[in-house]
Amino acid sequence: MEITASAMRSPFGKKVGAELMEDTEIGPMVIQPLKMKGVEEFGDYSTVLSFGMTTLPGMKT
């Protein structure tokens, strides 16, 4: 079975990105929504994904 990056990012990334945008502490700092950068590592029972988002200057989270 082949799983593409777009299939993995669709439900998870959008849901987490929306929750971050609605967060009272983090939301005001976010300029662009969460985006999946790619797969960092494949393990025996896991996959490590890399995500990023654009925040206001000087507001790294």
CA separation, residue 31 to residues 1, 7, 12, 40 (Å) = 36, 24, 19, 24
Domain assignment present for 24: yes
Dihedral sign for Cα 11, 22, 48, 52, please.
positive
Domain assignment present for 61: no
If one counts the domains in the chain, the total is 1
Domain assignment present for 31: yes
Whole-model pTM?
Answer: 0.56
Q: How many CA within 13 A on the CB side of residue 21?
A: 13
Q: Show the domain range for 22.
A: 5-55
Domain assignment present for 60: no
For residue 10, the model assigns a pLDDT of 56
* 32-41 residue pLDDT tens: 888 888 888 8
